[in-house]
Amino acid sequence: MRWLLMCLSMVSTMAVAESSPVAIALHGGAGTIERGKMSAELEATYRVFLEAAITDGHRQLAAGHPGLDVVVNVIQKMEDSPLFNAGKGAVYTWDGRHELDASIMHGQQLEAGAVAGVTTVKSPIALARTVMEDSPHVMLAAKGAEAFATAQGIESVDPDYFGTERRRKALEAYKADEYAGVEPEADYKFGTVGVVVLDKAGNLVAGTSTGGMTGKRWGRVGDSPIIGAGTYADNRSCAVSATGHGEFFIRHTVARDICARMQFGGASLHDATAEVVLKALVAAGGEGGVAAVDRAGNVALTFNTPGMYRASINATGVKTVGIFGDDE
């Protein structure tokens, strides 16, 4: 009889797992991303990447992979692509270097890990996860973070690995504008990648990785590695990854604010992201957006800029892939 009850319990657990909803959303940066300023070839390249990344991430979730693994796997694909300002393809600092930031958070026990200002770590998101799982700390920075990475066997690379001609030209243009005393035409303050998921176990996970801001100086750190600003996840509400002008996201604790509006105010995911990104941030002069998912598998891709690289698959299987503001 005990054996029969155990079997029935296992079958029941498997049935719940099979029917449990999963969802995923990602962003690849927000800013002045307009059709007229992008070639058809480059647009197609972005769309193919976003489609493949969201499909693969969803497949992993549907197969029962833990959300933590999926977030890291998908972000690493973006870190390895020169299309995005994270890992390979990261922007240059004023001094012609790369200083990378990342963070990750698991919504079950509110565990989190983050790194800031690393220069030789191939995958900052992998290091952020290791900080969360294998250290007593939440955030490590610069040389200390790199020493920890070495001790943990995290892959390191020569700093030149991150460089691309596209980003080098962006730095040159930025400096030219600065020296001329004119307002830069390009979006030097934008560029981040992030992934949020709801996995079969009902856990919400969020991760964010970035190269920061073109021309940044003095060890500047944005919102991406700051828990509550650029990244937050709580199984009681939602998971959020942000992209945009980091200083505003830090001041307004954007990611945590969205989750808190749901947890304590009863707001829906749609209303919470809209109130923060489209109202509070706009009123403050902050630009950017978020990818978010709630515990029911609803997703939100909300931004107040002309465009945001984005993709999602919600709990009902509806897929979206977009770049421009007028994409469906």
- How far is it, in rounded angstroms, from Cα 189 to Cα 175? 14
- How far is it, in rounded angstroms, from Cα 115 to Cα 74? 18
- How far is it, in rounded angstroms, from Cα 115 to Cα 100? 8
- How far is it, in rounded angstroms, from Cα 74 to Cα 194? 9
Q: In what order do the strands lie in the sheet with 288-294?
A: 231-233, 238-244, 288-294, 299-303
User: Would you give the distance in Å from CA 116 to the centre of its chain?
Assistant: 15
Of these residues, 130, 192, 273, 302, which one is catalytic? 192
Nearest CA to 296 out of 161, 202, 156 is that of 202
**Residues pairing with 310 in the sheet:** 27, 322
**Residues pairing with 45 in the sheet:** none
Say whether 55 is catalytic. Answer: no
- How far is it, in rounded angstroms, from Cα 286 to Cα 176? 24
Phi-psi region at 230: left, alpha or beta (left = phi > 0; alpha = psi -120 to 50) = alpha
Residues marked active site are found at 192
